[in-house]
Amino acid sequence: MGAKAKKSLKKKLNKPPSSSKLSVSVQKNKEASDFLPLEGGPGKNLVVEKATEDVSRVVYIGRIPHGFYEKEMEGFFQQFGAIKRLRIARNKKTGKSKHYGFIEFEDPGVAKIVADSMNNYLLFEHLLQVHLVPPERIHPNLWKGFNFRYKPLDRVQIERKRLNKERTLEERQKLIDKIIKRDLARQKRIEAAGIDYECPEIVGSIQPAPKKIRFE
């Protein structure tokens, strides 16, 4: 390369770029990157946060111990977040707990934290089984009557009324026939065992009450 060629190449390298070329390069850098530092240097792209998935708000809780019912469960799980609905499965006849239930939280993130932290949690010698319930597996009648608080029936009072109710003569005769039949079977078992025992007699019929005579 000659001396003239070297001088021309040196001038081109030392020549500052034109404003149009500079604007084009800046524009390209802006298109390529989201953030350009003030002091110069390579551009940086901003981190795009992905939207959180809308997970279920409903949590299944299994192996619920005896005595840990709606009031106690609500007070315990409120420490994680606001509870929207809560329900424990109960027997329709007796009202006893079936030892599993469901809780719906206001925030899906809270439900996920509860499922992760409370699964296999030891409570009153029971390992709780806590899992998220997918939205597609939630039954439409799951929360039907969820705000119902069961009041246990007084079985003693019900049985007392049944035994003390007024009976007709036919009903009383049927009751006595059952007692006599049961007593005869008992006597046969006593004789078969070789025990000498004389059982007391049971009246086998009921006499109707005499009619009252009215004097005019």
Class of the domain covering 58-137: alpha beta
For the chain, the maximum distance between any two Cα atoms, rounded to a whole number of angstroms, is 161
Domain ranges of the chain: 58-137, 166-196
pLDDT digits (tens, 9 = 90+) for 172-213: 888 888 988 999 999 999 999 998 888 787 766 555 555 555
- Give CA–CA dist 202/200, Å, rounded: 7
Q: Residue 135, Cα to own-chain centre: how many angstroms?
A: 13
Residue 34 tokens read as 């989201």
Q: How big is the CA angle at 178 (ends 175 and 180), to the nearest 5 degrees?
A: 110
pLDDT exceeds cutoff 60 at 30: no
pTM over 0.95: no
pLDDT digits (tens, 9 = 90+) for 92-122: 777 888 999 999 999 999 999 999 999 999 9
b/e burial code for range 163-176 (CB count within 10 A of at least 16 → b): eeeeeeeeeeeeee
68, 100 contact by CB (below 8 A): no
112, 132 contact by CB (below 8 A): yes
